[in-house]
Amino acid sequence: MKFLDEAKVYVRSGDGGPGCVSFRREKFIEFGGPNGGDGGRGGDVWIECVQGLNTLIDYRYRQHFKARKGEHGMGSNCHGAKGEDVVLQVPAGTQVLSEDGETLIADMTEVGQRVRLAKGGNGGFGNAYFTTSTNRAPRHANPGLEGQEMWVILRLKLIADAGLVGLPNAGKSTFLATVTAAKPKIADYPFTTLHPGLGVVRSDEREFVLADIPGLIEGAHEGIGLGDRFLAHVERCRVLLHLVEGTSEHAGKAYKLVRRELEAYGGGLTDKPEIVALSKADALDPETRKQQLARLKRAAGSKVLVLSAASGEGVQEALRAIQAQLDAGAAAEAEEAEPAAPWQP
């Protein structure tokens, strides 16, 4: 299945049905009077967050969604039927933006969440509605109101607890395949990962979701390489695991390059808790390992883990560090949400 994380679609709600002009005509009933029914309301356009989807591929080949119109009113005070609604099903993490790509209409983060994008037009009144004490036989009815129409942009941002960032060939996909049941493509050339991947980590009887995105290179924020738009998929992560390839020319420079791209992208990524790790440690001799580790510590200014997804060295330590950051974040959120104690004199 092709991974599609952005789509532009046109939605239109249904027009309301027109009211009916009708009179009761029966033998032996001298003053039948008006009996035209109201028109039915047009269908609405809804967007719903459902389980089992992880891409917007359904909107690649169909971009127009129109709800049904309301039915006409009829005689004998018969009201028209309501038009059928249209429901757009999207995966969790989908944002609905207006056509300008900036105004947020809805953020679909929970399964079962449902938002109305366009309301159907009301049906018109039939002539029976306009009957008064002085106008006993009105001969006019209202047309139905028009529905709403708009273009919206659907943008998917994967929901994960932790995210992997780094240069191409930093070992992100190997790490994901080692600690989860995911099966990303792994090869010895840059840009093996062409779309984000998700996996569930089970460690020490705990679980969290880990996201892997394509590698960044210098100038990614200007569109070089695969660009940086995939960074949207780690915006919702609570902690980042930054893998720096130990076999690179200079681990410190590699770290700073990725940090510059994160800063140029924005989205609060540079403010997130970060765990820095020197990857591919199994491919380094003791002298090179010591030198690269010192360079990376100077650049990061914090503790640096050493790991090798191929041999398993440092993997559990990295997972425990991620879980510790997640627990700390959850405790801080709970403390903020806890109501203050009532004041007592």
Cross-strand bridge partners of residue 108: 94
- Helix (H) / strand (E) element for 317: namely helix 315-337
Consult the annotation and say whether 208 binds a ligand. no
Q: Is 105 marked within a binding site?
A: no
Q: Does the annotation place 125 within a ligand binding site?
A: no
Distance from CA of residue 33 to its chain's centroid? 56
167 is in an annotated binding site: yes
| Residue 215 counted as an annotated binding residue | yes
Q: Which residues of 237-250 are buried (b: 16+ CB within 10 A; e: fewer)?
A: bbbbbbbbbbebee
Q: Known binder of ligand: residue 175? A: no
164 labelled ligand-binding: no
Instruction: Say if residue 280 carries a ligand binding annotation.
Output: yes
Q: Is 212 marked as binding a ligand?
A: yes
Q: Is residue 281 part of an annotated ligand binding site?
A: yes
To the question of whether residue 303 is assigned a binding role by annotation, the answer is no
Question: Is 294 annotated as ligand-binding?
Answer: no
205: left (phi over 0), alpha (psi -120 to 50) or beta: left
103 is in an annotated binding site: no
Q: How far apart are CA 142 and CA 126, in angstroms?
A: 7
Cβ within 8 Å of residue 233, ≥6 positions away: 5, 156, 157, 158, 160, 163, 196, 211, 213
CB 228, CB 216: distance < 8 Å: yes
Q: Is 35 annotated as ligand-binding?
A: no
Please indicate if the annotation marks 217 as binding a ligand.
Answer: no
How far are the Cα atoms of 6, 16, 105 from residue 142, in angstroms, in the given order? Answer: 41, 10, 32
The answer to the question of whether 169 is labelled as a binding residue is yes
Overall residue count recorded for the chain in this entry:
345
Kind of pairing, strands 149-156 and 114-118?
unpaired
Distance separating alpha carbons of residues 163 and 37, to the nearest angstrom: 59
The reply, when asked if residue 213 is annotated as ligand binding, is yes
Longest dimension (CA), the chain: 111
Q: Tell me if 308 is assigned to a ligand binding site.
A: yes
Cα 111 to the center of its chain, rounded Å: 11
Annotated binding-site members for Mg(2+): 173, 193
Annotated binding-site members: 166-173, 191-195, 212-215, 279-282, 308-310
Annotated binding-site members for GTP: 166-173, 191-195, 212-215, 279-282, 308-310
